[in-house]
């Protein structure tokens, strides 16, 4: 009786622990009063264990207070460009250069400012800061008088609202964009203070080249003993396995590969213990796959026209073992449209939609580490073979018909 009760409680605790850890991995900044208030409470309950785990295995600091939980994540690789800041609307458009710059200028103004701010005032300060000669030299200028500039600022502010840095008190951004009104916000200084996750303050970095800046931003302090170096390697590998869909051995340095070969089972077990992810170990690399299918922002397979096209193109690419050109993919989409088009959305069936469909599918496959865009087309990566069906099918195979 007591044993089974203990097991039940332990099982519940593990489930809760997984849920809390997954919440932080999905959204490293959780608000007590945001849409993930329940997850926040879980994180708070398990804060001690989570902090220990992340600190030891990834070196990511976890800060939890009454208002917010923030996991200070640093990516295991700096090469991944598939995680842009996105507009907080349904379209989720990636940020542009102007928006990134505006975002930073707005944050700088908020840092200096008081506990409340109006959007109009924020705009004035951004315009003042944008007069920085370096920005001017880079060809950036803001007047925030044109509508599209105001739209950019509104997108930036909505991102800050989503992350809880600002809280809307009165008014709305649309009125500001159309020049008919202003918006008042509370500034949550604590959330703001934890927004930057860089190990070093960018203002202290003097490097001029982009890559050097990026490297210094995330540089660990001096690793002058073997123990520290090994720990750094383990943390880097764990970070990649926690964050990224597939870790290919080919991307690792010799030292990293040697360490991973020795410690693979151990590292994977720690990750499973935290998240419930399962290691899929293959000759080419490791993927931590998710039986619960929710620890991701890009799904595969997925329902809907785009998901379907992606899946079918993935099969097509998996069947070919060399680079496939974009034209070939587009013509393949036209073929597929004949066969499956009846299930697709109207837009996707229209002639000329292939380009966009291929583009979207490739974006997903790239984000998932399944293909790489190379000069001359698209190269399949080993893990894409997960999506191969026995033979390339144009017609439905009898086996499948039976299963259905």
Query: Interface residues for another protein in 247-286 (CB under 8 A)?
Result: 264, 277-278, 280-284
Torsion-angle region of 68 (φ positive above 0: left; ψ -120 to 50: alpha; else: beta): beta
Which one, 34 or 94, has the nearer CB to another protein? Answer: 94
Which one, 170 or 258, has the nearer CB to another protein? Answer: 258
Which one, 100 or 230, has the nearer CB to another protein? Answer: 100
Q: Does 297 bind another protein (CB under 8 A)?
A: yes
Tally Cβ neighbours within 10 Å of residue 168.
15
Of residues 91-150, those binding another protein (CB under 8 A)? 94-97, 100-101, 104-105, 107-109, 111-112, 129, 132, 134-135, 138-140
Least distance CB 11 / another protein (angstroms): 18
Task: Give me the half-sphere count of Cα atoms (radius 13 Å) on the Cβ side of residue 315.
Answer: 15
Q: Does 324 bind another protein (CB under 8 A)?
A: no
Q: Does 219 bind another protein (CB under 8 A)?
A: no
Q: Does 196 bind another protein (CB under 8 A)?
A: yes
Estimate the crossing angle of helix 354-367 against helix 326-340, to 10 degrees. 110
Encoded tokens for 46 = 């398990």
* Structural element, H or E, at residue 168: strand 166-170
Check: CB of residue 144 under 8 Å from CB of residue 150. Answer: yes
Per-residue contact flags (x/-) with another protein for residues 221 to 240, judged by CB under 8 A = --------------------
Surface-to-core class of residue 22, CB atoms within 10 Å of its CB (0-12 exposed, 13-18 middle, 19+ buried)? buried
* Structural element, H or E, at residue 385: none
Calculate the alpha carbon distances from 304 to 100, 289, 290, 299, 392 in Å: 31, 22, 21, 11, 22
**Omega within 30 of 0 (cis) for the link into 309:** no
Q: Where are the beta strands (DSSP E) in 12-106?
A: 29-31, 62-64, 68-71
Q: Which of 257, 289, 363, 379 binds another protein (CB under 8 A)?
A: 289
Q: Which of 166, 187, 247, 295 binds another protein (CB under 8 A)?
A: 295
Region binding another protein by CB under 8 A among candidate stretches 45-53, 147-155, 349-357, 378-386: 378-386
Q: Does 35 bind another protein (CB under 8 A)?
A: no
Q: Does 88 bind another protein (CB under 8 A)?
A: no
Strand bridging mode 29-31 / 68-71:
antiparallel
Which one, 175 or 385, has the nearer CB to another protein? Answer: 385
Of residues 51-70, those binding another protein (CB under 8 A)? none
Least distance CB 180 / another protein (angstroms): 28
Q: Which of 88, 118, 184, 195 binds another protein (CB under 8 A)?
A: 195
């Amino acid at each position: 009786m007591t044993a089974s009760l203990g097991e039940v409680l332990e099982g519940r605790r593990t489930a809760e622990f997984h849920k809390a850890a997954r919440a932080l991995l999905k959204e490293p900044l959780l608000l007590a009063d945001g849409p993930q208030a329940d997850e926040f409470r879980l994180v708070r309950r398990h804060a001690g264990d989570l902090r220990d785990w992340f600190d030891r295995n990834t070196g990511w600091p976890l800060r939890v207070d009454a208002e917010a939980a923030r996991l200070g994540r640093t990516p295991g690789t700096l090469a991944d460009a598939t995680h842009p800041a996105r507009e907080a609307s349904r379209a989720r458009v990636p940020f542009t250069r102007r928006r990134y710059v505006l975002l930073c200028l707005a944050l700088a103004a908020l840092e200096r400012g008081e506990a409340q701010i109006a959007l109009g005032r924020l705009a004035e300060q951004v315009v003042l800061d944008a007069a920085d000669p370096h920005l001017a030299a880079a060809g950036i200028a803001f007047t925030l008088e044109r509508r599209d500039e105001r739209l950019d600022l509104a997108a930036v502010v909505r991102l800050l609202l989503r992350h809880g840095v600002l809280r809307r008190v009165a008014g709305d951004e649309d009125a500001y964009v159309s020049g008919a009104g202003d918006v008042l916000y509370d500034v949550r200084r604590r959330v703001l203070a934890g927004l930057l996750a860089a190990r070093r303050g960018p203002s202290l970095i003097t490097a001029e080249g982009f890559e050097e800046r990026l490297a210094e931003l995330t540089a660990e302090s001096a690793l002058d003993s073997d123990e520290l170096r090994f720990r750094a390697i383990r943390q880097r590998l764990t970070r990649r396995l926690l964050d990224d869909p597939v870790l290919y051995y080919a991307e690792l340095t010799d030292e990293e590969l040697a360490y991973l070969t020795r410690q693979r089972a151990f590292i994977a077990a720690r990750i499973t213990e935290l998240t419930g992810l399962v290691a899929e170990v293959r000759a080419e690399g490791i993927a931590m796959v998710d039986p619960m299918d929710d620890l991701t922002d890009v799904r595969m397979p997925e329902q809907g026209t785009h998901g379907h096209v992606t899946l079918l193109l993935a099969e097509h690419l998996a069947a070919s073992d060399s680079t496939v050109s974009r034209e070939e993919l587009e013509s393949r989409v036209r073929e597929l449209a004949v066969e499956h088009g009846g299930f697709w959305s109207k837009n996707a069936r229209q002639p000329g939609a292939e380009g966009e469909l291929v583009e979207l599918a490739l974006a997903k496959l790239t984000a998932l580490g399944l293909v790489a865009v190379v000069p001359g087309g698209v190269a399949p990566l080993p893990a894409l073979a997960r999506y191969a069906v026995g033979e390339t099918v144009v017609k439905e195979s009898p086996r499948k018909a039976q299963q259905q």
